[in-house]
Amino acid sequence: MRSGAPTEQFSIAPGSSGRIKLISRASGMALGVVGASKVDGTRLDQAPDTNATHQQWTLVSRDAVTTPAAEPSAAPAPEPVPVPAPDAVPALTLTYLYPLVDPTAGPGAANAGPRQLIGVDPGHSTTPGVVLPSTVCVPSGVEIVRTAGLAEADVPTWILPGSSLPAGVTVASEHHPLEHYGLSSDCGDGTLPEDTTPDEVTPIEPPVSAPAPAPATSGPGTWAPWPTATASRKVSATIEVTGTFDGNLTEYYGLSSGDQTEGQPPMFELADGARIKNVILGVGAGDGIHCRGTCTVENVWWLDVGEDAATFKGTSATQTMTVVGGGARKASDKVFQHNGPGTFMIRDFQVEGFGKLYRSCGNCSKQYARTVVVDDVRVQAPGKSVVGINSNLGDRATLTRLTVVGDPYRKISVCDEYRGVTSGEPTKVASGPSTACGYTASDVTYR
């Protein structure tokens, strides 16, 4: 009796020369003929997909099958079970690399930090052809995901904690430690060899098989020129944003005096789920932008950062603030402040003249374990540090494709660790690659 269970369901994947493969939805393995036999009545079984001919099938019309004429007294032949047409979207095998939330525990979905795509293979491969970084400074795991019905163009470059692939596309998933691939998470002190020059420090690029990162206002390794305002508007009170706010590159200014005084009102306050884009914040932007939950800040430019450019608040551990594109200038203290829980993503961003690009709150009265992901960001001296986190509170940072400009003596710290507190002042305890500060020397380019 058929129950409709996953063990009785198969996906159709492309084979060779127009043939197809039947992939079990439960195991991700291919249906094949035992021993590649050609004898009638040979058993079928499932095995890892090797693209062998005994695992490939041809669909034929029932009219093309010659059968003996039925005897007059014989009962009518049963109707064959229809075979569905091949899926329009081929099956894929995706490989993600992620830091372990708890370095003392093994890899798994519950212990996965932000997952970064590092490989895409056609079909349901048992040995994905991925290229892993030769050294990873943070204890990490690898997830292999076999999908059906997901186009390669729709594969996400990042999967954040609390998020997942679209419903119904995952056929099977498995997690492995780095040791499974013969790798180690020990990268020493993160210093460069003596004979390495700044021009030779290049960021890790995605493998050839991986899809390109999602388009932004600039692109990997290049950044958009600073825009010219199409209009200007003086602001006298905070602008509340729900849904999507498109400023069409209008410059908003004049809410405050433009100094570093604490407690200033924000120019924009974003509700949970809100999105702001194509905005220029001029002099007197107060405390910039506040996010009260998950939000997106896209192609937003700060000409003269006041107290902070943006602050991530909210109370949910699964919330995410995403900054994509845009830039900031004249940030004598912090650009981005993270007060609530959740994950802060900064991508395709540029900053010129700054104290800290990102700081996890060091002395908030209520503290959380926070996550920050910095990818394809350009920082230009003068500056003090790119990321500051509270490692004692469980903060984790991941930095990739960072470009530092105008810092020949490398005075700008890439990642600083602090001992966060709920009162008083935090204490700086370490700098450089570590379990909490996830990056390697090859993730940083100096120009």
Could you tell me what percent of the chain has a pLDDT over 70?
A: 71
pLDDT class of 40 with cuts at 50, 70, 90: low
Higher pLDDT, residue 193 or 413: 413
pLDDT class of 212 with cuts at 50, 70, 90: very low
Higher pLDDT, residue 155 or 6: 155
Distance CA 389, CA 126 (A): 38
Report the pLDDT averaged over residues 348-369. Answer: 96
Report the pLDDT averaged over residues 49-67. Answer: 62
Q: What is the mean pLDDT of the chain?
A: 79
Report the pLDDT averaged over residues 108-116. Answer: 83
pLDDT class of 248 with cuts at 50, 70, 90: very high
Asked if 117 contacts 157 with a C-beta cutoff of 8 angstroms, the reply is yes
Could you tell me what percent of the chain has a pLDDT over 90?
A: 45
Report the pLDDT averaged over residues 297-301. Answer: 96
Q: Among 333, 340, 382, which Cα is nearest to 358's?
A: 333
pLDDT of residue 122: 85
Instruction: Number of helices (H) and strands (E) in the chain: give both, helices first.
Output: 0, 27
Distance CA 354, CA 76 (A): 82
253, two tokens: 């200014």
Q: What angle do CA 293, 309, 437 make, to 5 degrees?
A: 75
pLDDT digits (tens, 9 = 90+) for 258-296: 666 677 899 999 999 999 999 999 998 989 999 999 999
Report the pLDDT averaged over residues 57-78. Answer: 52
pLDDT class of 67 with cuts at 50, 70, 90: very low
> What global pTM score does this model have?
0.56
pLDDT class of 138 with cuts at 50, 70, 90: low
pLDDT of residue 215: 37
Displacement of CA 197 from its chain's centroid (Å): 30
pLDDT of residue 59: 67
Q: Among 2, 1, 30, 25, which Cα is nearest to 15's?
A: 30
Tell whether the model's pLDDT for residue 328 goes beyond 60.
Answer: yes
pLDDT class of 446 with cuts at 50, 70, 90: very high
Cβ-Cβ contacts under 8 Å for 69 (sequence gap 6 or more): none
Least confident of 39-48, 288-297, 438-447: 39-48
Asked if 253 contacts 284 with a C-beta cutoff of 8 angstroms, the reply is yes
pLDDT of residue 42: 67
Report the pLDDT averaged over residues 211-237. Answer: 70
Report the pLDDT averaged over residues 348-365. Answer: 96
Distance CA 180, CA 127 (A): 12
pLDDT class of 24 with cuts at 50, 70, 90: confident
Tell me which amino acid residue 101 is.
V
Q: Among 372, 315, 309, which Cα is nearest to 336's?
A: 309
| DSSP state for residue 57 in the 8-state scheme | B
110, two tokens: 């519950």
Highest mean pLDDT among 14-18, 63-67, 94-98, 374-378: 374-378
